[in-house]
Copies of this chain bind each other. A is one copy, B any other.
Amino acid sequence: MTRSDAYPSRVGCDARILPRKDPVLHGSITPTGPLSVDQLESFDRAGFLAIEEFFDDAETLAFRDEATRLRESHAGGRAPEVIIEPGSGEVRSVFAVHRSSAAFRGLARHPRLLAAVVQILASAAYIHQSRINYKPAFRGREFYWHSDFETWHVEDGMPRMRAVSASISLLENNVHNGPLMLVPGSHRHYVSCAGRTPERHYEQSLRQQEYGVPEPDALEELVGQGGLVAPVGAPGSLVLFDCNTMHGSNGNITPWPRSNVFVVYNSVENALEEPFSGQPPRPEHIASRDFTPLEAAG
């Protein structure tokens, strides 16, 4: 019997755009938490929501110091949680920081953040993935366009679209230093990708992705409909975005580095199954299978 797959991708067909089968807001639009009705409606419509000064200066500074400490402690190392920039050898990402760092464990369970997530998912949540992204000054590399859900579905077995990502800036994002760009409205379309997933793809893809990459035609269509938005702001700003919102960022030749903490919350009612690629699951530090509901930090 063939397994049911709501969002087929990399199954040997041509690329195409399929409609989303899941809601974006999984409950009713009621201001039962920190997000207002306007904010919830904006998230529903655009697929993301930017909030400046979500964390105060003291909190942000503590997170930044911790991110610097982690990068330095991993310099030159080869821990599986660490992704190295091709070429320069600099640390590009550190995964599973909500496990390795008390500060980021606290951030991920921050009461106001977690309450906003629960407003969107309308269920308890667990952490699918967390990481710090470091985009260095002068030589920061691009992140090409992608829907996170496409990868999480195909490579991790996330069955449906009921996950939300939180990106917290640790340094200023401005229009020049390669900020996150999102395609408003793209979360309503599933860009099914061509090709098949090779074995142990993640070992390369986290540095430079070759499979699960949307075709230029699909990107032109989505950007033609929705345009592009790059939220900018001071450190401590938050962007919440749907798991299927198309996003990417240009490189950074400016003297201003850019780094952010990224936490992915998945509904406990959307726990991972076997990957739809037919390959073995990715490691725990990239795609957690500990579905214990998160409780807010005390």
A252 close to chain B: CB less than 8 A: yes
Contact B178 A219 (CB under 8 A): no
Contact A250 B138 (CB under 8 A): no
Residues of B within 8 A of A137 (CB): 216
Residues of B within 8 A of A176 (CB): 175, 181, 228, 230, 250
A142 close to chain B: CB less than 8 A: yes
Chain B residue nearest to A249 (CB atoms) is B253
A122 close to chain B: CB less than 8 A: no
Contact A175 B230 (CB under 8 A): yes
A223 close to chain B: CB less than 8 A: yes
A255 close to chain B: CB less than 8 A: yes
With contacts A138-B219, A216-B137 taken as known, whether A178 is within 8 angstroms of B250 at the C-beta atoms is: yes
A254 close to chain B: CB less than 8 A: yes
The 8 Å CB contact of A216, one of B138, B175, B219, B230, is B138
Nearest chain B CB to A126 CB, angstrom units: 32
Nearest chain B CB to A176 CB, angstrom units: 5
Nearest chain B CB to A223 CB, angstrom units: 5
A residues 216-260 near B (Cβ < 8 Å) are 216, 219-220, 223-224, 228, 230, 248-255
Residues of B within 8 A of A216 (CB): 137-138, 255
A residues 125-140 near B (Cβ < 8 Å) are 137-138
Report the 10 A-B pairs with minimum CB-CB distance, sorted nearest first.
A175-B175, A251-B251, A220-B255, A250-B250, A223-B255, A176-B228, A250-B251, A219-B255, A248-B253, A142-B253
Would you list 21 pairs from A and B whose C-beta atoms are within 8 A, ordered by A residue?
A137-B216, A142-B251, A175-B176, A175-B230, A176-B181, A176-B228, A176-B230, A178-B250, A181-B253, A181-B254, A216-B255, A219-B255, A220-B255, A223-B254, A223-B255, A228-B254, A248-B253, A250-B251, A250-B252, A250-B253, A250-B254
- Known contacts A138-B219, A219-B255, A250-B252; 20 additional CB pairs below 8 A are A137-B216, A142-B251, A144-B253, A145-B253, A175-B175, A175-B176, A175-B230, A176-B228, A176-B230, A176-B250, A178-B250, A181-B253, A181-B254, A216-B255, A224-B255, A228-B254, A248-B253, A250-B250, A250-B253, A250-B254
List chain A positions with a Cβ less than 8 A from chain B: 137-138, 142, 144-145, 175-176, 178, 181, 216, 219-220, 223-224, 228, 230, 248-255
